[in-house]
Structure 1
Amino acid sequence: MNTDWFKEAQYGLFVHYMSELQNLTPFNPKEFDRGLHQDQVTDWNTCVNAFNVNLFAEQASQAGAAYVMFTLGQCSGYFCAPNSIYDAYTGHAAGEKCSERDLILDLHEALEAKGIKLMLYLIAHSPYGDQEASVALGSPELAANGYHYLPTPVFRDRWSEVIKEWSDRYGSKIVGWWFDGYYSDLYYNDVYCMTLSKAAKSGNSDSIVAFNPGLVIVKATIADDYTAGEQAVMELFPEDRWVDGIQWHCLTFLGDFWAYTNNKLPDEEVVQYVKNCTDKQGVVTLDVGVYRDGSISPEQMGFLKNLKEAIRG
């Protein structure tokens, strides 16, 4: 199974690295202010250049992370790696929304030196914070919830081209993808998810893919290799490794919410949750607060070192 390594990994870290968090780009900034910007608001390239991959990799190693899920970008339309196809469709200049630095390549090199694998987070819908880009990519109408532009066949095919450029560039450096926002059967279907999955696996056919349908741990699509498993609480446990034939996996946060820097629960509760899941061959990904310079929250690092001792021995 291509998820065997994932099961053996037991746990890893999730990083929300986004312009609206580490740079407070004016995309609903009050909602996203966690202090991760370190009192700096600059152009996007300056922000991406400030991320110290060696510092982050060292701390991820101290945390015992076997892998890291890292955001290429989310809804604002800013991405931390170049993409010529995205620029061509949207009309953005190179380096305007897709950073000049390929942070993903630099991050992989630093993580690989520590024996840590790299997975990528991306949205399954359009970057609706950039309305012009969403329309240019083929999503001209807002969904009923007012957020996600409708994933039309045109958008599906163009977005897949964008994904494929990244996948082909990274090849086996990327071992998995986590697609967010796959929320409604009204808008999505098997053709849609398989088209995106094919693009994501273009550079590495062994990479694993999950599509997030919301706060459940289920097989959401025929394309899923593991459960996206988004959870706001640490209460669901695996009965065994499998959910409808795919790897059981949970993604949750250590802080009060995504990308917060505190520990909302006592260390022993979280350690026990992770241990209960991994004892049944489940996998747990823990979201942590990561600052602009690439450092992990000191409070959370204290817990993660305890977790490493408990799980890794």
Structure 2
Amino acid sequence: MLSIVPSETNVLMAADAGLKGHLKVQWPDQAARFWVWNWTSNDDSMTWKVRVPETGNYSLTLLTENCGQVLIDCKLPSPGPVKVELASKLGKLTYTIGYRKASATNLWMRNEVPGTLRLPAGESEITLRALEPAGHAFNLSLFSMELVKPAVSSALSVEGATLRASTKWMVNAKYGLMFTWTAASFPRTGPKKSYEEATRDFDVNAFADMVANTGAGFIVFATSWSTYYFPAPIKSWERVAPGHTTQRDLIAELADALTKRHIKLMLYYHAGRSEDNWWSGTHARSMDKDAYFKEWEEQIREIGLRYGEKLAGWWFDDGTTFYYTLQAPWKAMTEAAKAGFPGRVVGYNSWILPKATDLQDYACGEGDFPDRLTSENDAELPVGGSGIFLSGPQKGLQATMTLTNEGGDWGHIKQDADIPAPRYSSAQAIDYIRQATARKTVPVINLEVYQDGSASQQTIDEFKAIKAAIQVPVQ
């Protein structure tokens, strides 16, 4: 039973509905939430039980994929639009879900259903089903349904515009880099050091010089991917995860060294805790969500206040698959993320799914060059445009794309292993970056680094060529 809050956007996850027919839940046991798929018949339906404090009218948005084989493969697409019905005790709406022609990792849509659905006070049900002619094949997936009062939706749009920061510096940079340097990182050979030791020994100036030689205008420094550590004495972090902070403030030193080289610093954050079972579906479904977000805001706010303008942005992972599914308090989160510097940019990663909220500045765009740079996206992100999505599932956000450079993982997490070779030649990477800059979308390229912060010579040589070709000095 979901209690509807009239003053908020209410998220009804497809996986939380009563499922009838042949519907299936993707990856049901994870803390991150996914979609219901195999919606192929009028006999398939989803029903949510809701509790509403007072009778009212609500706008509905469906997050759908009109396609075939989820996860990201579309071998059995629906042949065309699919008509669906949404029904409550007090009314019905019908809507036709269109077919989105896009790259394989960009198929999900936000469908704003015209009109409103009236919900009665007290406990009731909302049912979603297809209304297709007999024998008409289709194949849908549903991630969620959003319910919000029209006046609240308008107010949230105003709040989003008020909190929005300029992303022009990202566009002017042309490309940035991500470094997934965490407690899981290994050196080129031998066992890894403790996180405290690795942080203590990190050569900030050597790292900053290496970054400067790549031509990148900013970096995203990841500390909590696959682990939950932070390389600075953050009190609120230490309370939540004892022993997972450090005496040295590596972030402050990195910010200063990078600033001297005219490079901005952003931070990556991934939710998690030190307990072994924290990132499990059972824990995520039972935890005190208000307490969790209060802790989250305290940590992020403390970090923002500590670094002020030295911290240019945040890249928050699992925005749609985790925070969104917990009815995230987006305004409070984004305000915490901008504490100490209102111009700090914020993005909540939606992966292949639509944006989680308008209360952010840019779309993280996790994907690869070929997926994000296709002519099929011309209407949404045209060549010669502003870099802001004009339409589609990321409408209104600055376009970026985040991808791995080498053929391994995001971080160097294998012992006694070389960093793999770059996936693209210098010429290929240069061509892709030029295509991106033509649309003013900003590539954020993850470079795999060893525990001492050094990159492979192959990567260094690749970016020497990229810098020479892309970062042409202004005459």
TM-score, scaled to structure 1: 0.83
- Between Structure 1 and Structure 2, which shows a larger proportion of strand residues? 2
Q: Is the 8 A contact 2:368 2:401 kept in 1?
A: no
- Find 2:366's aligned residue among 215, 218, 230: 230
Distance 2:261 2:426 in 1: 25
Q: Is the 8 A contact 1:151 1:188 kept in 2?
A: no
Q: Is the 8 A contact 1:126 1:148 kept in 2?
A: no
Identify the range of structure 1 (109-118 vs 260-269) with the bigger mean alpha-carbon deviation. 260-269
AA in 1 matched with 2:360: D
Q: Is the 8 A contact 1:20 1:76 kept in 2?
A: yes
Cα gap change, 1:40 to 1:211, in 2 (>3 Å) = same
How many residue pairs match? The answer is: 284
State the percentage of identical aligned residues.
26
Cα gap change, 1:209 to 1:66, in 2 (>3 Å) = same
AA in 1 matched with 2:363: T
Shift of 1:149: 8.3
What SS does structure 2 have at the residue aligned with 1:61?
Answer: helix
Is 1:70 aligned to residue 207 of structure 2? Answer: no
Question: What does residue 168 of structure 1 align with?
Answer: 305
Distance 2:292 2:316 in 1: 15
1:94-113 matches, within 5 Å, as 96-113=243-260
1:233-291 per-position Cα deviation (integer Å, ceiling 9, x unaligned)? 53312424112122110011111132363201222111111110011111111100112
Distance 2:288 2:224 in 1: 17
Structure 2 residues without counterparts, runs of 5 or longer: 1-164, 374-380, 390-394, 413-418
Question: What does residue 185 of structure 2 align with?
Answer: 21
AA in 1 matched with 2:424: L
- Find 1:296's aligned residue among 440, 449, 455: 455
Distance 1:43 1:74 in 2: 16
Q: Is the 8 A contact 2:268 2:314 kept in 1?
A: yes
TM-score, scaled to structure 2: 0.56
Structure 1 residues without counterparts, runs of 5 or longer: 23-35, 135-140
Question: What does residue 8 of structure 1 align with?
Answer: 172
AA in 1 matched with 2:445: L
Distance 1:233 1:39 in 2: 34
Is 1:188 aligned to residue 326 of structure 2? Answer: yes
What SS does structure 2 have at the residue aligned with 1:20?
Answer: coil
Q: What is the CA RMSD across the aligned residues, in angstroms?
A: 2.4
Distance 1:116 1:39 in 2: 32
1:40-68 per-position Cα deviation (integer Å, ceiling 9, x unaligned)? 42322111112111011111111001001
Distance 1:281 1:268 in 2: 20
Question: What does residue 131 of structure 1 align with?
Answer: 275
Identify the range of structure 1 (266-275 vs 178-187) with the bigger mean alpha-carbon deviation. 178-187
AA in 1 matched with 2:272: S
AA in 2 matched with 1:161: E
Shift of 1:224: 1.8
- Find 1:119's aligned residue among 251, 256, 266: 266
Distance 1:102 1:68 in 2: 17
Q: Is the 8 A contact 2:315 2:347 kept in 1?
A: yes
Tell me which structure has the larger Cα radius of gyration.
2
1:120-269 matches, within 5 Å, as 120-123=267-270, 125-127=271-273, 130-131=274-275, 142-143=280-281, 152-184=289-321, 187-189=325-327, 191=329, 193-215=330-352, 218-232=354-368, 234-237=370-373, 238-239=381-382, 240=385, 241-243=387-389, 244-256=395-407, 257-259=409-411, 261=419, 262-269=421-428
Question: What does residue 113 of structure 2 align with?
Answer: none
AA in 2 matched with 1:189: Q
Cα gap change, 1:149 to 1:67, in 2 (>3 Å) = farther
Cα gap change, 1:132 to 1:255, in 2 (>3 Å) = closer
AA in 2 matched with 1:174: L
AA in 1 matched with 2:462: F
Distance 1:166 1:212 in 2: 20
Is 1:282 aligned to residue 433 of structure 2? Answer: no
